[in-house]
Amino acid sequence: MNTHTMQTEASDATSIKLSFASAHEVHHGLETAVNTLIASAVHDRRCGIRVTRHEAGAYTVALDETVPFGETHEDMAA
């Protein structure tokens, strides 16, 4: 039986919180979230995308005005 273990919460049109139960889901989940926000970024062309790893399996993908349009930056939370 296949279970859905990735949880996504869209807190607004500019940020997506992701939680993964297994490491093999991370790449696809982050790629999907980034692609979703690219569509939003294209409308205003003022910001890029920041992917932040908060802890194992917990990420936020968000539009960020400190990231140049057309770029994606990655961070690890302290």
CB-CB contact of 30 with 20 (8 Å): no
Those residues with Cβ within 8 angstroms of residue 21's Cβ, 6 or more apart along the chain or in another chain: 5, 6, 57
| Predicted TM-score of the model (pTM) | 0.81
Q: Is 51 left (phi over 0), alpha (psi -120 to 50) or beta?
A: beta
Interval 27-59: pLDDT, tens? 999 999 999 999 888 888 899 999 999 999 999
Interval 11-28: pLDDT, tens? 447 999 999 999 899 999
Instruction: Say whether pLDDT at 74 is over 70.
Output: yes
Q: What is the pLDDT of residue 52?
A: 97
8-state DSSP, 30: H
For the segment 3-10, the average pLDDT, to the nearest whole number, is 44
Q: What is the pLDDT of residue 30?
A: 96
